[in-house]
Amino acid sequence: MKHLINKKESYYAGAVFLVWPFLALVSAFFNFRKPWAKNVLWAFTAFVGFTFALTEGSTSDIARYVAGYQNLHQVSMSIPEAVERFIEGGQIDILNTIITYTLSRITDQQEALTFVYAAIFGFFFSRNVWYVMERLKGRISMLTAILIIAFLFIIPIWFINGFRMWTAAHVFLYGLLPYLCERNKNKLWISFVAFLVHFSFVIPTALLIGYLFLGNRVVLYFGFFITTFFISSIELAVVNDIVQNFTPERFQERSEPYLRGADDDGLDTIMPEEEGRSLNWYIVWYRKALNFYLTGALVFMFINRKKFILNDIGMANLFSFTLLFFGFANFISHLPSLGRFLLLAHLLAMAVVIFYVQNKAEDKTVKQYAYLALPALFLFIIVSIRRSLFFMSATSILGNPILGFFTAGENMPLEQFLRMLL
C-alpha cells in the first residue's frame, strides 16, 4: 500500500514539474523524505541547463566550452582522429572530452550541451544534498533550514558554468560522504576517479589517500587547520617548484595556467557589469563571510569534541577529514584558481555543522554561535542569489519544459528580465 502511495505521489510530482518545475522543486524540499524528492532536484537542474542563459560576449568557462563544441561540429573527424587531436591538445579531462566529441557529431545547439552538463552535474548534486538531508533527525529547525539553503549555494546549480571543476567536486563528495559517515566503501572508488572530470582532483585524491593511512587525528588536523587559517600568503615560487619537481610533464602543462596570477580569484565567474572595474564590497566579502562562519563553528565543535566524537564514529570521521581538507585548502587558497578547493572544504564543513546543529541538540554552544553569526551567513546567501540571476534564465524559474523548447537559444538571464519589469 505504501509503495502504491509513493508511486502515485511521484506521478503528481511529475505532473507539477511539467507545469511549473520551480514549484515542484519547492514541494520536493518540503517533502524531502519522500523517495521521489531528490529526482525533482535532479530534473530541475537538467531543466536549468536546457534553459541556461549564456550572455553574449561572456568570457566564462561555459562560453569557451560551447564555442569549442560548436567549432568541432563543423569538423569531420573519426574517433581515432578525435583521440589523437585531444591528446595532442593536452586534454586529460576525459569526461568533457567524450561529451564534447559525441554530442558534436549530432548537433551544435548550445542548449543540448548545457542540458547534458546539467543532467550529469545534477545527479551528483541532488544525491549529495539528499544524503545530508535524509540523515537529519526529527523535525527540521529554522536554523537547520538556513544552513541547508547555504549548503545548496556553495557549489550551486548555476555552477554548470564551470562544468568540469564543480562536477568533479560533487563527484568526489558523492563517494566520500558515505565512506566517512557510514564506512560504506561501495562508492569510494567514485571519489578516486573524480580527476577524470577535472585533472586537479588528483590533489583531493592524494589527500584522501593520506587520510586513509593516518585515520582520525583530530588534534593534529585541528592544529594544521587553525595554523593555515592565519597564514595570509605563501611564496608562489615555492609551490611552482614543487609542481615542477613532483608532477608529470603533462600535468605541468595543465597546471601552469592555474599557478599564474589572474584577475579573477577562480571562485566565481565575473558578472558582465563587473568586468573592467573594482568589485563591490559584498562581492569581495560574501565568500569570506562564509569562510569565517564555518571556521568559527569548527572551532567551537573542536572545543566540545568529546561530546560527539566518542559516541558517533561517523561524525568523528567527517569532522576529522574536514579539518584536514579545510586546512590544506587554506594553505593553497592564495594561489590563483587553486583557491577553488575552499568551496569543497566549505561543503564538507557545512555538512558537519548541519549534522551537529540538527542531530546533537543537547549541545547548545555551537547552536548559539550558529545563531549569533547568522548575519555572515545571510550575506553569503543573499549575494549568491544575486549572482545566480546572471546565469539562471527567466524560463528556468517561471517557465516549464514545453515553453523551454520555444525559448531555446534565446533565453534571457533573470537579471535582465527583472530589469525590464522594474
pLDDT in tens, the chain (422 residues): 555 556 778 888 889 999 999 999 999 999 999 999 999 999 999 999 999 987 766 667 888 888 888 888 888 777 777 667 666 655 667 888 889 888 988 998 999 999 999 999 999 999 999 999 999 998 999 999 999 999 999 999 999 999 999 999 999 999 999 999 999 999 999 999 999 999 999 999 999 999 999 989 999 999 999 999 887 445 445 555 554 555 555 545 555 555 544 444 334 444 444 444 456 777 888 999 999 999 999 999 999 887 777 678 899 999 999 999 999 999 888 776 778 999 999 999 999 999 999 988 677 888 899 999 999 999 999 999 999 998 889 999 999 999 998 888 788 888 888 888 87
In 104-179 the beta strands, taken as DSSP E runs, fall at none
Domain that holds residue 68: 38-268+279-401
Has residue 54 been placed in a domain?
Answer: yes
**What helix, strand, coil percent values describe the chain, rounded to 5?**
75, 0, 25
Residue 75 maps to a domain: yes
Q: Is residue 292 a part of any domain in this protein?
A: yes
In a domain, 199, yes or no: yes
In a domain, 134, yes or no: yes
Integer CA distances (angstroms), 4 to 8, 11, 185, 293, in order: 6, 11, 32, 44
Whether residue 52 lies inside any domain: the answer is yes
Question: Is residue 274 included in any domain, yes or no?
Answer: no
Q: How many separate domains does the chain show?
A: 1
Q: Could you give the CA distance from residue 305 to residue 343 in angstroms, rounded to a whole number?
A: 24
CA 35/CA 336 separation, integer angstroms: 41
Identify whether 304 is part of a domain: yes
In DSSP terms, which residues pair with 393 in a beta bridge?
A: 413
**d(C-alpha 37, C-alpha 127), whole Å:** 10
Burial zone of 237 (CB within 10 Å; 0-12 exposed, 13-18 middle, 19+ buried): exposed
* pTM of the model as a whole: 0.89
Report d(CA 325, CA 294) in Å as an integer: 13
